[in-house]
Amino acid sequence: MDSILSCWMIFGLLGAGHMAREVKQTPRHKITEMGQAVTLRCDPISGQQYIYWYRQTADKGMEFMAYLVDKTPTDKADFFRDRFSAEKPEGSYSNLKIDPVQLGDSAMYLCASSEATASHRHFLSLQKFSTSPSPQA
């Protein structure tokens, strides 16, 4: 009898508190097998139409993934192709899908929302976060 080696991926989502105005992410935790698809959902704060997706890994820190205003991403990171997709199917919540999941996708996936303002339209698409310290001269 052959033994099968299964690789498991762990996806963590930032847990929301008990405040009335909050971004909700579901599922809060997800473990899936490599090669499977995973879909994460973000429900923004009521009335906020901009949705941002980030991931945080141990080796790369916090990385911008994509932001959405309409049904498809307005801006996305270079690595955000092929296996990654994001959408706002009904114009309110957002789904982030990874298909198929690979070993390097194990991370904390975070979403955020904000209101639409003129400054968001011009500047937030350029915003790329990093938790890595800046190099010292």
- The full set of domain ranges for the chain reads 24-114
pLDDT digits (tens, 9 = 90+) for 84-128: 999 999 878 999 999 999 988 999 999 999 987 544 444 444 444
Neighbours of 55 (CB within 10 A): 24
Interval 30-82: pLDDT, tens: 999 999 999 999 999 998 999 999 999 999 999 999 999 988 888 999 998 88
pLDDT at 25: 94
pLDDT for res 97 = 97
Confidence of residue 21 (pLDDT cuts 50, 70, 90): confident
CATH class of 24-114: mainly beta
Q: Which are the contacts of 54, defined by CB distance < 8 A and separation ≥ 6?
A: 62, 63, 64, 65, 109, 110, 111, 112, 129
Q: Is the pLDDT of residue 132 over 60?
A: no
CA 59, CA 57: separation in Å to the nearest integer?
6
